[in-house]
Amino acid sequence: MNLTKNAILFTLLLLVFGCQPDPKEKIQAVNYAEELHSYARPNTSAIKHLNLDIDVDFNSEIIKGIATYSIENQNATEIILDTKFLEIDAVEADGKPTTFKLGEFDEQLGQSLTIAITNATKSISINYRTTNKTEALQWLSPQQTADKTHPFLFTQGQAILTRTWIPIQDSPQIRITYDAKVKVPKELMAVMSAENPKTKTADGSYSFKMKQPISPYLIALAVGDFEYKAVSDRTGVYAEKSLIDKARYEFEDMEKMVLAAENLYGDYDWDQFDVIVLPPSFPFGGMENPRLTFATPTIIAGDKSLTSLIAHELAHSWSGNLVTNATWNDFWLNEGFTVYFEIRIMEAVYGKDRANMIALIGRQDLSDEIENFKNEPNRTKLRQDLKGKSPDDAMNSIAYDKGYLFLRTLEETVGRDKFDAFLKNYFKTHAFSTITTEKFLSYLNEHLLEPNNITFNTEEWIYKSGIPSNQASITSDKFANAEKVLQQFLESDTIDTSLTKDWTTLEWVHFIRNFPKTMTTEDMARIDKAFDLSNATNSHIAMVWFEQALNLDYHGNNVDQNIEDFLIRVGRRWYVNTLFKAFKRNGKTEEALAIYKKSRENYHSVTATTIDELLGVKN
């Protein structure tokens, strides 16, 4: 009943200190944009540095320890943090017990944690533990890993999940540096979005330091039995033993990518760029945790064909981690710029053909998304209004691919040289700060459009639904050829396999995604017989083929079993969601539910939440 007692004490304190002038009137040091997804009021008191001291217990599946913050206090008598599903055991201010209060629970935002402080308070520490409801953490059994010998843990902070494993001011407008001491079982290694160890310690104690200020959604931790192999002086991979050599080979071009990126938009500011290959339940393709990108193993295809994802996460080292969306309404500033930058890196390293194919795949995703949202046109605006909504609602092709198309159109309008110079300056000027859509808009006018006397319908692109008519047109001879080959296959009885022998993954994906609705199961069977697509080992090819098998009611070549196995093994939300949506769209919800019953326990909360909603499952 500690909590009630604290609540009473807290009210008393408020009465005593409550007659001071409203701190908000006094100081407006930083101009924070309106924040819909955090209880924090950083204008009055903000965290600056985190010192985390935690114990990772695989038996109870709980992280417990102390989060100590140095704070900047503008005369406030309280500091407010975000928490969700955390137990708060005790709180201190400058080393002495202080009172605290947990606010009402909100399904999305969790609970505010209000801590009593004084003018003079320099630091607060919170003794806390996670619970089994935590949404950021996924605890995996040995069976769910590649080597199957040790358990594994990873965190996923973006967008608002960091508060489920650390009490924190969980807004992208907050920037903090951090140190951490993490204790794990001694057979395991721990890595974070920070300076990392390259080998295991003898006792399972690890120390970390992130010296550049980052937003809370970028704090990340992974614990498991993995090892490190360098690719270059400043790039490398962490993976489980059975995957490490494959991973190193797959990501061999990492240094080339970093060099290409630096050449475009300025120095890489984070010293090290490593990738950790996580177990297949990782809910994303990749996550740009600073210094250490978290990645799905499904991009290890054996032929480096899916590594644009690495270029994407690397690009976030500028767009996202250096210059951060101020709120989740501005999410397109993170992702649209990153897709643009990703495709520029891919062009620099592999040439225009590959870059344009990637851009066209995204262009088709964008058309599909606009069709999806035909009854909710507001959702096709770049700048979103997420009041009362989850940041997840903005995580769709609009932010990514409409954002890309806008920037590409802008590039083609002003010319590449001017555009590149502008972007380089944009990153430099806003490094280690956050940016709203409005601020970007005025920066764009002032530094690119006005000086060059260019009129551009920027506001239409950003604030209106749909796609403006001045959109850049993207073409690819290779894709045009893939479409021609498809026609040929459909019009004749035989299949000339020599026509596809030089195809890359992207051509296969395009070919499969463009099957006409009138295609018959016999056509599917013929193509499958020639290319064995139902057993494709490339995850992207498999995913789009499975989707077509569901669309066209094709059941040959063991495809049904392979779809089920894929959905049980892989938790990458984009893949899983695409396939379950295809089941549903094609009147196969019962089958979907039967598979989901078996697969759900393998999914991270991010994926499970999406699929629960899609299939109407209550939990």
CB burial of residue 426 (10 Å; 0-12, 13-18, 19+): buried
Quote the least distance from Cβ 338 to Zn ion, whole Å: 5
Write the interaction track for ligand BES spanning residues 170-209; mark x where CB under 6 A is met and - where it is not. Answer: ----------------------------------------
Quote the least distance from Cβ 404 to ligand BES, whole Å: 10
The answer to whether 574 contacts ligand BES (rule: CB under 6 A) is yes
The answer to whether 313 contacts ligand BES (rule: CB under 6 A) is yes
Selection from Zn ion, ligand BES, none that 382 binds (CB < 5 to 8 A by kind) is: none
Side-chain half-sphere of 588: how many Cα atoms within 13 Å? 19
- Kindly tell me which of 239 and 310 has the beta carbon lying closer to Zn ion: 310
Quote the least distance from Cβ 112 to ligand BES, whole Å: 22
Write the interaction track for ligand BES spanning residues 248-287; mark x where CB under 6 A is met and - where it is not. Answer: ------------------------------------xxxx
Cα 185 to Cα 54, 55, 613: the distances in Å are: 12, 9, 36
Stretch that binds ligand BES, among 19-27, 106-114, 305-313, 591-599 (CB under 6 A): 305-313
The answer to whether 159 contacts ligand BES (rule: CB under 6 A) is yes
**Left, alpha or beta for 493 (phi > 0: left; psi -120 to 50: alpha)?**
alpha
Q: Are 220 and 286 in contact (CB under 8 A)?
A: no
Most distant CA pair in the chain: distance in Å?
A: 87
- Kindly tell me which of 113 and 194 has the beta carbon lying closer to ligand BES: 194
Distance CA 97, CA 93 (A): 6
Stretch that binds ligand BES, among 105-113, 312-320, 372-380, 437-445 (CB under 6 A): 312-320
Q: Are 325 and 391 in contact (CB under 8 A)?
A: no
Selection from Zn ion, ligand BES, none that 287 binds (CB < 5 to 8 A by kind) is: ligand BES
Quote the least distance from Cβ 459 to ligand BES, whole Å: 25
The residues that are catalytic are: 313, 400
Quote the least distance from Cβ 396 to Zn ion, whole Å: 12
Q: Are 319 and 337 in contact (CB under 8 A)?
A: yes
Quote the least distance from Cβ 332 to Zn ion, whole Å: 11
With CB under 6 A as the rule, give the number of residues binding ligand BES: 15
- Kindly tell me which of 10 and 575 has the beta carbon lying closer to ligand BES: 575
- Kindly tell me which of 154 and 515 has the beta carbon lying closer to Zn ion: 154
- Kindly tell me which of 339 and 414 has the beta carbon lying closer to ligand BES: 339
Selection from ligand BES, Zn ion, none that 547 binds (CB < 5 to 8 A by kind) is: none
Selection from ligand BES, Zn ion, none that 167 binds (CB < 5 to 8 A by kind) is: none
Q: Which of 200, 312, 381, 478 binds ligand BES (CB under 6 A)?
A: 312
Q: Are 136 and 164 in contact (CB under 8 A)?
A: yes
Query: In sequence order, what DSSP letters do the residues of 542-591 get, joined into one string?
Result: HHHHHHHHHHTT---TTHHHHHHHHHHH---HHHHHHHHHHHHHTT-HHH
Q: Is 375 helix (H, G, I), strand (E, B) or coil?
A: coil
Quote the least distance from Cβ 355 to ligand BES, whole Å: 14
Query: In sequence order, what DSSP letters do the residues of 304-325 get, joined into one string?
Result: STTTHHHHHHHHTTTBTTTEEE
- In this structure, the strands spanning 78-83 and 111-116 are antiparallel
CB burial of residue 92 (10 Å; 0-12, 13-18, 19+): middle
- Kindly tell me which of 100 and 580 has the beta carbon lying closer to ligand BES: 580
Q: How many residues does the chain have?
A: 619
With CB under 5 A as the rule, give the number of residues binding Zn ion: 2
* Tokens, residue 40: 């924090």
Percent composition of the chain: helix, strand, coil (DSSP 3-state, to 5): 45, 20, 35
Distance CA 603, CA 284 (A): 11
Distance CA 320, CA 433 (A): 10
- Kindly tell me which of 465 and 578 has the beta carbon lying closer to ligand BES: 578
Q: Is 407 helix (H, G, I), strand (E, B) or coil?
A: helix
Query: In sequence order, what DSSP letters do the residues of 386-397 get, joined into one string?
Result: -TTS-GGGG-SH
Stretch that binds Zn ion, among 118-126, 338-346, 381-389, 498-506 (CB under 5 A): 338-346
The answer to whether 316 contacts ligand BES (rule: CB under 6 A) is yes
Quote the least distance from Cβ 308 to ligand BES, whole Å: 6
* Tokens, residue 577: 């969601």
Task: Give me the sign of the Cα torsion angle 485, 489, 490, 491.
Answer: positive
Stretch that binds Zn ion, among 51-59, 108-116, 255-263, 336-344 (CB under 5 A): 336-344
Selection from Zn ion, ligand BES, none that 284 binds (CB < 5 to 8 A by kind) is: ligand BES
- Kindly tell me which of 321 and 548 has the beta carbon lying closer to ligand BES: 321
Q: Which of 72, 250, 274, 288 binds ligand BES (CB under 6 A)?
A: 288
- Kindly tell me which of 157 and 204 has the beta carbon lying closer to ligand BES: 157
438: phi then psi, degrees, rounded to nearest 5 = -65, -40
- Kindly tell me which of 279 and 285 has the beta carbon lying closer to ligand BES: 285
Distance CA 259, CA 262 (A): 5
Quote the least distance from Cβ 340 to ligand BES, whole Å: 12
Stretch that binds Zn ion, among 27-35, 116-124, 327-335, 381-389 (CB under 5 A): 327-335
Selection from Zn ion, ligand BES, none that 204 binds (CB < 5 to 8 A by kind) is: none
Task: Give me the sign of the Cα torsion angle 537, 540, 541, 543.
Answer: positive
- Which residues make up the interface to ligand BES (CB under 6 A)? 158-159, 284-288, 309, 312-313, 316, 335, 395, 400, 574
- Which residues make up the interface to Zn ion (CB under 5 A)? 335, 338
